[in-house]
Amino acid sequence: MTEKRSRGGRTAVIASAAAVTAALVGGVGGAALVDWTGQPATGTSPSTTATAQTASLNTGTDVSGVAAKVLPSVVQISVSTGNGQAIGSGVILTPDGKILTNAHVVQGATGPVTVTLADGTRYSADVLGADTAADIAVLKARGATNLQAATLGDSSQVKVGEQVVAIGSPGGLQNTVTSGIVSATGRDLAELNGQRQQSPYDRTGTRSGPSYTAIQTDAAINHGNSGGPLVNAAGQVIGINTSIYSPGDGGSIGIGFAIPINDAKTIAEQLENT
């Protein structure tokens, strides 16, 4: 592992939440760019302690309390690829080690997938299923027991202006916590470049499924946050962080996107049943 890189090192104009992975293959210059997460700085290593790095909110929301509740349910995901090591994040779904993440985090894996808990405990993991169009994958940590599963919320109840917290491993810095608000809901990512790519679960088709519009947030999301949770003030996961709008060098400018958790749950259940 001499080179550390991101699944999110690729940038491109985004088409829709449902087809983000396909839209991001190959760099595209222009004003509306979206980066996948996962780019750790060379020489960095994940923390083995669940120390929350927080930003203060304009309200009385206790970010430290939210972080303390959710951090044990967030993992760092390390994947060996042909180009080096990819770093992402994930959310624990069950005590026996089922984990929800983005498909692009594990795409192209050439070796074992490793998940690291907030306390530094590591497990090898298998990919139970991945939907690259929806950018959702489900992993299973081998031999895991008594893990702390995240509490999933209802993304249909998310409101603009609501306080939120993002947790993940930006730059490979595990257990990083940032905070902000919901900037928009139902964001059609096709608006960023005028393109629309159909999903297998597109609501205009005959197959029922999620709409693939995104939750937009100004909570800082960077390379390595992919697959990690966006949570509300009650510590409930309302979205899976997946991409950012970045017209410059690929860093966060305060416009990030998360797949609504209701959509992510539907896709995860379909993956497990196929």
Which residues participate in catalysis according to the annotation? 104, 135, 226
Tokens of 112: 């074992």
* pLDDT tens sequence across 208-252: 333 458 999 999 999 899 999 999 999 999 999 998 887 766 677
Rounded Cα–Cα distance for residues 134 and 159 (Å): 23
Query: Contact 8/226 with Cβ under 8 angstroms?
Result: yes
Average pLDDT rounded to a whole number, residues 141-157: 97
> What kind of architecture, by CATH, is found in domain 7-72+150-272?
Beta Barrel (2.40)
Is it the case that residue 54 has pLDDT exceeding 80?
A: no
pTM, two decimals, is 0.75
Rounded Cα–Cα distance for residues 147 and 96 (Å): 6
* pLDDT tens sequence across 87-115: 999 999 999 999 999 999 999 898 889 99
Query: Contact 166/243 with Cβ under 8 angstroms?
Result: no
Rounded Cα–Cα distance for residues 163 and 77 (Å): 26
- DSSP state string for the chain: ---B--GGG-EE----GGGHHHHTSS---SS--EE-S--PPTT----SS---B----SSS--HHHHHHHHGGGEEEEEEEETTEEEEEEEEE-STT-EEEE-HHHHTT--S-EEEE-TTS-EEEEEEEEEETTTTEEEEEETT--S--PPPB--GGG--TT-EEEEEE-GGG-TTEEEEEEEEEEEE-GGGGTT-----TT-TTSSS------EEEE-S---TT-TT-EEEETTS-EEEEEEEEE-SSSS---S-EEEEEHHHHHHHHHHHHT-
Is it the case that residue 138 has pLDDT exceeding 60?
A: yes
* Domain range annotation of the chain: 7-72+150-272
More confident residue, 212 or 66: 66
Is it the case that residue 262 has pLDDT exceeding 80?
A: yes
Rounded Cα–Cα distance for residues 250 and 208 (Å): 34
* Across 166-170, 187-191, 194-198, least confident range: 194-198
